[in-house]
């Protein structure tokens, strides 16, 4: 029998293929890209090119209405498409303009398109969903006194929106945020259009990134905010977002950023993005975060000496987040085991800045780190092969071994190859991997090139050893002191008597 109507035939074939899909495909399951520390993070088979994220905010008790539109490219034939997503309800999904079936499997949202997607073809995904800011202690949305901010590192972007939640898949972002009258919404990148009036007195704000970004670095701030614009080195637009009520008090801190950027540029080269600024939130997060072009800080950090935060320490933390814009944001880690490349470098420039202020010398900080290094390695694993976080401890990966324990590797490298070669490594690292991802082996290769000899045998024990190798140039450091301090209290110092401990070592678990 031949079907005479092409429309009928098409309908029947579509129905048959749906039946076939239903009959053949096994139950959906969460997938990952094989990250040792987060096995189900990211998804195989496609490359995301851009996210277009629309969010409508009402208040902190109500899930936001959201539409996530993804432009991607299929890398393999796909009968199913896994996205990472949890903490929201999905209303509908489309793949290449046609409705797709959707199911949850673990923390994955699994789409079954009406027609399998061929390899090397464009893949357009639209998901209508909610994004729930409540119960966000494990990351994603951060509730502030006057609205919301975002803190997705390491694995929490998919608590906000469906995505390929791994830094190995960077993409461009557009944000369209609608918020009620009186609120201001800001996101990574530059304003894409003037704020536009929407129904019921609400306003829509649009932002676009001009550089690709990892999902963990996305930032959306909604609050009673003041947005302050000024100009940094070579005309770089600076944009700070602070609670409107705190604007005057914070102004002296905001004025410091331009100088910090100049200081970093002298050491590693041009700032890598379209703009920069700090987002200071009325929230207690226990951490600061290098969200791309707009680093997130807790208000309390700027509360002054009385609260235990001397000026030099606060500035060093600001430089830490700024340094991440090069190390971690522009150059993102290929796997989460490469986290030491983010935190080791950010800690390095933080320590170097404090050294320059004459408050806490780099040599002293590194000598103290060296004494604790074996203990840190025992607790957290080697810097380039850290132990996974304990279940439910979102920031458990951010242990001293990837901060000062990793800065120690850079110190050892500088001692081994000399300051001039080390500086060339740093500059080439951020220039050659700009807007891309890179891993530990890339760093070893680059360091070897600049040293003019293979540094694998030298760096391997520093990166992967259970014990800390001898420090070149400091034979007197060669016997790490065995300490009995409880984990997390190792760096605690009485306020006012000695330099504030390195941020990663603070007793309250503050990480940067
Ligand atoms: Zn950091």
**Mind listing the domains of the chain with CATH numbers?**
32-177 (2.60.40.1730), 329-505 (1.10.390.10)
How far is ligand 1, taken at its centre, from the CA of residue 324, in Å?
Answer: 7
CA of 408 to the centre of ligand 1 (A): 15
Over 60: is that where the pLDDT of 501 sits? no
CA distance 174 to 151: 18
372-386 average pLDDT score: 97
Tens-place pLDDT, residues 56-94 = 999 999 999 999 999 999 999 999 999 999 999 999 999
**Token pair in block for residue 508:** 């309250």
The pLDDT value recorded for residue 142 is: 96
Mean pLDDT for 39-44 is 97
**Cα 424 from chain centroid (whole Å):** 26
- The model's pLDDT over 93-131, given as tens digits with 9 standing for 90+, comes to 999 999 999 999 999 999 999 999 999 999 999 999 999
Distance 512 CA to ligand 1 centre (A): 4
CA 461 – ligand 1 centroid, Å: 23
* pLDDT reported for residue 485: 47
Q: What is the pLDDT of residues 1-22, one digit of tens each?
A: 444 555 545 554 555 454 444 5
Ligand 1 centre distance from Cα of residue 402 (Å): 9
pLDDT bracket for residue 24 (50, 70, 90)? confident
**Ligand 1 midpoint to CA 199 (Å):** 40
Which pair of structure tokens corresponds to residue 276? Answer: 């920069």
Between the CA of 267 and the centroid of ligand 1 the distance, in Å, is 18
CA-closest candidate to residue 57, choices 164, 252, 202, 159: 202
pLDDT over 60 at 409, yes or no = yes
Helix (H, G, I), strand (E, B) or coil at 368: helix
Grade residue 23 by pLDDT with cuts at 50, 70 and 90: low
How many angstroms does the Cα of residue 511 sit away from the middle of ligand 1? 7
pLDDT surpasses 50 at 34: yes
pLDDT at position 11 is 52
Q: Using alpha carbons, list the distances in angstroms from residue 448 to 433, 454, 462.
A: 16, 5, 15
- pLDDT tens track for 331-342: 999 999 999 999
For residue 468, is pLDDT > 90? yes
Ligand 1 midpoint to CA 342 (Å): 7
CA 343 – ligand 1 centroid, Å = 5
Per-residue confidence (pLDDT) for residue 136, from 0 to 100: 62
- Between the CA of 405 and the centroid of ligand 1 the distance, in Å, is 13
Cα 11 to Cα 354: distance, rounded to the nearest angstrom: 69
Asked whether the beta carbons of 383 and 409 are under 8 A apart, the reply is yes
- CA 346 to ligand 1 centroid distance, Å: 6
Tens digit of pLDDT for each residue in 251-301? 999 999 999 999 999 999 999 999 999 999 999 999 999 999 999 999 999
pTM for the model stands at 0.91
Q: Could you tell me the CA-to-CA distances from 232 to 83, 229, 257 in Å, in that order?
A: 38, 10, 8
């Amino acid at each position: 029998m031949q079907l005479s109507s092409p429309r009928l035939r098409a309908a029947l074939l579509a129905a048959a293929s749906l039946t076939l899909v239903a009959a053949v495909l096994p139950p959906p399951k969460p997938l990952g890209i094989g990250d040792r520390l987060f096995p189900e993070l990211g998804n195989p088979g496609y490359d995301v090119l851009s996210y277009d994220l629309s969010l409508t905010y009402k208040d902190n008790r109500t899930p936001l209405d959201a539409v996530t539109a993804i432009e991607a490219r299929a890398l393999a034939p796909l009968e199913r498409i896994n996205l990472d997503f949890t903490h929201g309800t999905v209303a509908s999904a489309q793949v290449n303009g046609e409705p797709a079936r959707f199911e949850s499997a673990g923390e994955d949202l699994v789409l079954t398109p009406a027609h399998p997607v061929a390899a090397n073809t464009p893949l357009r995904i639209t998901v209508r969903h909610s994004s729930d800011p409540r119960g966000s202690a494990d990351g994603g949305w951060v509730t502030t006194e006057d609205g919301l901010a975002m803190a997705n590192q390491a694995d929490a972007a998919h608590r906000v929106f469906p995505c390929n939640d791994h830094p190995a898949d960077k993409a461009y972002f557009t944000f369209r945020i609608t918020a009620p009258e009186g609120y201001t919404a800001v996101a990574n990148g530059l304003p894409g259009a003037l704020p536009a009036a929407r129904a019921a007195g609400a306003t829509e704000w649009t932002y676009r990134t001009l550089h690709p970004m990892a999902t963990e670095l996305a930032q959306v701030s909604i609050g009673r905010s003041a947005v302050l614009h000024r100009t940094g080195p070579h005309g770089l637009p600076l944009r700070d977002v602070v609670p409107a009520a705190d604007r005057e008090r914070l102004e002296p801190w905001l004025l410091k950023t331009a100088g910090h950027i100049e200081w970093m540029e002298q050491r590693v080269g041009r700032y890598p993005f379209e703009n920069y600024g700090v987002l200071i939130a009325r929230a207690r997060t226990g951490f600061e975060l290098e969200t791309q072009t707009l680093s997130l800080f807790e208000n309390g950090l700027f509360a002054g000496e009385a609260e235990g935060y001397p000026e030099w320490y606060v500035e060093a933390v600001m430089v830490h987040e700024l340094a991440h814009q090069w190390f971690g944001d522009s150059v993102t880690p290929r796997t989460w085991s490469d986290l030491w490349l983010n935190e080791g470098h950010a800690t390095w420039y933080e320590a170097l800045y404090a050294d320059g202020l004459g408050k806490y010398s780099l040599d002293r900080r590194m000598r103290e780190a060296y004494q604790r290094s074996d203990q840190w390695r025992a607790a957290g694993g080697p810097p380039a092969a850290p132990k996974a976080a304990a279940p439910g401890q979102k920031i458990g990966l951010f242990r001293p071994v990837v901060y000062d324990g990793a800065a120690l590797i850079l110190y050892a490298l500088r001692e081994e190859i000399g300051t001039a070669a080390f500086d060339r490594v740093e500059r080439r690292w951020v220039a050659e991997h700009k807007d891309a991802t890179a891993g530990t082996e890339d760093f070893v290769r680059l360091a070897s090139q600049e040293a003019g000899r293979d540094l694998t045998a030298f760096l391997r024990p520093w990166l992967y050893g259970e014990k800390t190798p001898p420090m070149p140039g400091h034979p007197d450091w060669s016997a790490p002191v065995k300490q009995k301090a409880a984990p997390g209290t190792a760096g605690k110092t009485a306020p006012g008597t000695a330099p504030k401990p390195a941020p990663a070592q603070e007793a309250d678990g503050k990480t940067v």
